[in-house]
Amino acid sequence: MSFKNVRVKIDELKTRAALIKNLQLSIGNVMEETWEEHVGPTPFPSVTSLREWDMKLLKRYKPYYLPFCELCCLCTFGKCDLSEGKRGACGIDMAAQQSRIVLLACCIGAATHIAHARHLVEHLIEKFGRSHPIDVGGVHVKLEAPITRLVCGVRPKTLGDLEGILDYLETQVTHLLSATHTGQEGNNLDFESKVFHAGMIDHVGLEIADIAQVAAYGFPKADPEAPLVDLGFGAIDINKPVIMCVGHNVVPTVGIVDYIKSNGLDGQVEVCGLCCTAHDTTRYYPKAKIVGPISWQIRFIRSGVPDVVILDEQCIRTDALNEAQRIKAPVIVTSDKNCMGLPNRTGDPPDTIVDDLITGKVPGVLILDPELVGEVAVRTAVKVAPLRKKFKTLPETSDVISGAKLCRKCNNCKRVCPQDLDIPEAMETAANGDLSLLADLYEFCIGCTRCEHVCPVELPIHSFIVKAGEKQLKAEIFKIRSGRGAIQDTEIRNVGSPIVLGEIPGILAAVGCANYAKGGREVAEICMEFANRRYIVVTSGCAAMSAAMYKNGEGKTPYEMFTGNFEAGCIVNVGSCVTNSHIAGAAIKIASIFAKRNLRANYEEIADYILNRVGAVGLAWGAMSQKAASIASGFWRLGIPVIVGPHGAKYRRMLMGRKDREEDWYVYDARTGERVYVGPTPEHLFYAAETKEEAMVMIAKLCMRPNDTTKGRAIKLTHYIDLHKRMYGKIPDDIHMFVRTKADIPITMKDEILKILEERGWKETRIPDPTLLPRLIRRRKEE
């Protein structure tokens, strides 16, 4: 069947009457006759279909604007100064402008994922055929595409089915992007609603991308025992030719691995990666290695270890070509998104391309055929490795010392360093032969090289830091469990009840980029803290790598210390950024598999379910990208709060609840229709924390949900209070807002808490069957 035609028909129906009686039947017929589940109210939602739901969220979680720029320069009317109540020449005000920029970011993010998905699907159809089945977990995963089912109301069975869904996504992104044009949307809340839509669309794109690659490439299929693979600079075998792959789209790297395997070179060439391509490469080829998150790009190139550099798409250093040239490593760019000014050699015979790269006739080439990439990359690496002899640009210790002597203490470096690292001070001690202060910076340096561009004496500052931190760099040898993909239906069945009742205190998803304010170790520490507290901890993307970069006394990394099953006390790596869809998918599956809610095109009800019952929190501790913004907004619309790190403040808009406004925290009791106060659960939808300690307390707090049973709430409160006492040195002053009946009080803290409740004039309430949707109220008489 083709979804393309379906959508047109649905749109026609919807324009005539939104909820006419026969609509469900009609859509059911055109969509899929064999699927019994009836179609919910919002199949293939348009930009405004879920606006009412969005406004409900935005009423409680008010946008808090933090302009990162007070000007607008988007059209030739500008620049316009929008500060202090002024409007731009087009009439826009500051609030709308900020939300417009957020929408722009989310459109960029969504477009990036959807284009990535489109490329994957097109390529995989060409290779495996349109009728290749979507199997992401065999008998363990019947619900293959929860987000797609929820949003679109269709269930894709084959690769070919994904095309029509992508058509829909691309249309939505175009509509959303158009709203940011001068003189379009003018209301900040409507912009925010569109932001949510962009996020939801983005999540479908993520899901399509991952289920396509899992199905076609045979990645681990929802496998809790996905192989443990190597991670870290020190894990790379420098005695072999090394191919370094950077980006997010695994297709060209698959070409490389296939070539290696089919030419008997297995074990002779080292394939390693950075960012999500690395994750996905290990899912295809567990012998591949992960160097680390995005911040390792420059240090790895400068180390001279890579013999060939392969760039695909997203989060690639745009100066990677220059850096690679300096270590004499040929570059192959492989994506139409990122051609780097290199000649397109896709039509040329491999021999000539390889020759040109080895002789240095060209510094790099563009090859758009992944199989050709495979052949050229491997053959070039094998031949170039003995020639370049790991030629590096990292300095020797003596170079660092003599260089540091030239430092003028001008502070330029410190003042452009996003981490405000005290480089001048470290240079001073380095000039005297002591590199320890420089080495101390290693952990916090995000490898941006901004410092180097402003140094009046042109010191390669980042290289100095890496050289000083060399011991640490070389000791980076860790294990990470390869991305397992989806969560099994059976796992959901097992944890559904304890999560919804609150007995598993929460799900923590540590996701996103590596723009950490104080190093990546904080991610590992947070993950372990919550796994030890028997939360379900899932990881993805660069955060999943950071979570691996820790060893306990026995030399075990977190993925070896904790189980890979989706259960209390786990640390589960789902995989690359596109596998964030499985995290959202797990929350959706709880509503469907455990609570038996109708999923199909039933977005609002499921989001309402998750907001009120599923204690999940996202932590994007180093969130940097526009993709991270759109991923976060997909979680917001589903009712899942997201915490970002300090740099996340620059996303310029938070969604903050007000626990001091009692009226904001009422829900309907679906049993009676009565409005019941449920306290600030969850208190915020999006916010940036200043420190790790603050984030940890907030994670525990944001896991509380109105539906928690008394037993569950007592468990959640125990963790919240315990962490609060440890980090803040005192008991929280808002406990009374989270205690509904005395049975909620953790027994061990009973006296202490009762006293506080009394002081605060606490009144007992009751636990409703919570919903924000009046239509879900079942009057008692009907029961």
Partner 1 sequence: MSLIAEPWQRAEVAGTKKALIINKPEIVAAMIKRAKRPILVVGHQVVETELSEGEKAIDRIIELAKTAEIPVVATAHIIKEFLNRGFNPSSHMSIMEIGSRLQAPDWTGLDGMGAYDLAIFVGIPYYMEWVILTGLKNFAQNLKTVSLDRFYQPHANWSFPNLPLQKWDEQLKLITNLLKEREEGTA
Of 612-631, binders to partner 1 (CB under 8 A) are none
Decide if residue 88 touches ligand SF4 (CB under 6 A).
yes
Separation CA 612–CA 603 (nearest Å): 14
Separation CA 180–CA 149 (nearest Å): 29
345-351's contacts with Cβ under 8 Å and 24+ in sequence apart are 346/372, 350/375, 350/376, 350/379
For 572-603, the three-class secondary structure string (H helix, E strand, C coil) is: EEEECHHHHHHHHHHHHHHHHHHCCCCCCCCH
Decide if residue 321 touches partner 1 (CB under 8 A).
no
User: Which residue's CB is nearer to ligand SF4, number 449 or number 625?
Assistant: 449
Decide if residue 437 touches ligand SF4 (CB under 6 A).
no
User: Which residue's CB is nearer to partner 1, number 57 or number 588?
Assistant: 57
User: Which residue's CB is nearer to ligand SF4, number 22 or number 83?
Assistant: 83
Decide if residue 409 touches ligand SF4 (CB under 6 A).
yes
**The only residue of 6, 23, 31, 72 in contact with ligand SF4, by rule CB under 6 A:** 72
User: Which residue's CB is nearer to ligand SF4, number 90 or number 727?
Assistant: 90
Decide if residue 446 touches ligand SF4 (CB under 6 A).
yes
Separation CA 741–CA 667 (nearest Å): 17
Is there a contact between 692 and 525 (Cβ–Cβ < 8 Å)?
yes
Separation CA 753–CA 661 (nearest Å): 22
105-136 residues labelled b (16+ CB within 10 A) or e (exposed): bbbbbbbbbbbbbbbbbebbbeebeeebebbb
Decide if residue 676 touches ligand SF4 (CB under 6 A).
no
Is there a contact between 619 and 535 (Cβ–Cβ < 8 Å)?
no
Decide if residue 679 touches ligand SF4 (CB under 6 A).
no
The entry of ligand SF4, partner 1, none that residue 66 binds, CB within 5 to 8 Å by partner kind:
partner 1
CB atoms within 10 A of CB 89: 14
The entry of partner 1, ligand SF4, none that residue 650 binds, CB within 5 to 8 Å by partner kind:
partner 1
Separation CA 741–CA 765 (nearest Å): 6
For residues 30 to 49, the per-residue mask of contacts with partner 1, x marking binding by CB under 8 A and - elsewhere, is --------------------
Decide if residue 427 touches ligand SF4 (CB under 6 A).
yes
Structure tokens at 445: 């340096």
For 228-282, the three-class secondary structure string (H helix, E strand, C coil) is: EEEECHHHCCCCCCEEEEECCCCHHHHHHHHHHHHCCCCCCCEEEEECHHHHHHH
Helix, strand, coil in percent for the chain, rounding step 5: 50, 10, 40
Decide if residue 218 touches ligand SF4 (CB under 6 A).
no
Is there a contact between 510 and 529 (Cβ–Cβ < 8 Å)?
no
Decide if residue 78 touches ligand SF4 (CB under 6 A).
yes
User: Which residue's CB is nearer to ligand SF4, number 325 or number 412?
Assistant: 412
Say which residues have a Cβ less than 8 Å from residue 726's Cβ, sequence separation at least 6: none
User: If you compute the radius of gyration of the chain from its CA atoms, what whole number of angstroms results?
Assistant: 26
Return phi, psi of residue 318, to 5°. Answer: -75, -5
- The minimum distance between CB 665 and partner 1, in angstroms, equals 15
Decide if residue 632 touches partner 1 (CB under 8 A).
no
Single-letter residue type at 648: G
Return phi, psi of residue 693, to 5°. Answer: -60, -45
**The only residue of 30, 39, 58, 92 in contact with ligand SF4, by rule CB under 6 A:** 92
Nearest-10 crossing angle of helices 350-358, 370-388: 30
Decide if residue 74 touches ligand SF4 (CB under 6 A).
yes
**The only residue of 456, 675, 765, 775 in contact with ligand SF4, by rule CB under 6 A:** 456
Decide if residue 231 touches ligand SF4 (CB under 6 A).
no
- The minimum distance between CB 419 and ligand SF4, in angstroms, equals 5
User: Which residue's CB is nearer to ligand SF4, number 243 or number 455?
Assistant: 455
Decide if residue 100 touches partner 1 (CB under 8 A).
no
Decide if residue 238 touches partner 1 (CB under 8 A).
no
Site residue total, ligand SF4 (CB under 6 A): 42
Decide if residue 652 touches partner 1 (CB under 8 A).
yes
User: Which residue's CB is nearer to ligand SF4, number 263 or number 412?
Assistant: 412
Decide if residue 395 touches ligand SF4 (CB under 6 A).
no
For residues 271 to 310, the per-residue mask of contacts with ligand SF4, x marking binding by CB under 6 A and - elsewhere, is ----------------------------------------
User: Which residue's CB is nearer to ligand SF4, number 69 or number 73?
Assistant: 73
Single-letter residue type at 610: I
Is there a contact between 188 and 98 (Cβ–Cβ < 8 Å)?
yes
Decide if residue 401 touches ligand SF4 (CB under 6 A).
no
Residues in the chain: 783
- The minimum distance between CB 621 and partner 1, in angstroms, equals 14
- The minimum distance between CB 615 and partner 1, in angstroms, equals 20
- The minimum distance between CB 162 and partner 1, in angstroms, equals 39
User: Which residue's CB is nearer to ligand SF4, number 177 or number 427?
Assistant: 427
- The minimum distance between CB 666 and partner 1, in angstroms, equals 17
Q: Which helix (H) or strand (E) holds 537?
A: strand 536-540
**The only residue of 137, 146, 241, 447 in contact with ligand SF4, by rule CB under 6 A:** 447
For residues 174 to 213, the per-residue mask of contacts with ligand SF4, x marking binding by CB under 6 A and - elsewhere, is --------x-------------------------------
- Distance of CA 438 to CAs 401, 430, 454, 549, Å? 11, 7, 18, 21
CA angle 46, 48, 52 (to 5 degrees): 130
Decide if residue 411 touches ligand SF4 (CB under 6 A).
yes
Is there a contact between 621 and 690 (Cβ–Cβ < 8 Å)?
no
Decide if residue 437 touches partner 1 (CB under 8 A).
no
- The minimum distance between CB 65 and ligand SF4, in angstroms, equals 15
Q: Is 548 helix (H, G, I), strand (E, B) or coil?
A: helix
Separation CA 569–CA 723 (nearest Å): 17
Is there a contact between 364 and 330 (Cβ–Cβ < 8 Å)?
yes
Of 70-89, binders to partner 1 (CB under 8 A) are 70-71, 81-85
**The only residue of 689, 699, 700, 739 in contact with partner 1, by rule CB under 8 A:** 689
Site residue total, partner 1 (CB under 8 A): 48
Peptide bond into 682 cis (omega under 30): yes
**The only residue of 167, 694, 722, 752 in contact with partner 1, by rule CB under 8 A:** 694
For residues 48 to 67, the per-residue mask of contacts with partner 1, x marking binding by CB under 8 A and - elsewhere, is --------------x-xxxx
Decide if residue 649 touches ligand SF4 (CB under 6 A).
no
Separation CA 324–CA 322 (nearest Å): 5
Q: Which helix (H) or strand (E) holds 467?
A: helix 461-468
- The minimum distance between CB 447 and ligand SF4, in angstroms, equals 5
User: Which residue's CB is nearer to ligand SF4, number 90 or number 368?
Assistant: 90
Decide if residue 691 touches partner 1 (CB under 8 A).
yes
Decide if residue 524 touches partner 1 (CB under 8 A).
no
- The minimum distance between CB 442 and ligand SF4, in angstroms, equals 9
Separation CA 665–CA 558 (nearest Å): 38
Q: Which residues of the shown chain bind partner 1 in the complex (CB under 8 A)?
A: 62, 64-71, 81-85, 94-95, 412, 415-416, 418, 420, 454, 517, 646-647, 649-650, 652, 654, 656, 658, 660-661, 684, 687-691, 693-694, 697-698, 727-730, 733
Positions that interact with ligand SF4 (CB under 6 A): 72-75, 77-78, 80, 88-90, 92, 182, 407-413, 416-419, 421, 423-424, 427, 445-451, 454-457, 459, 461-462, 465
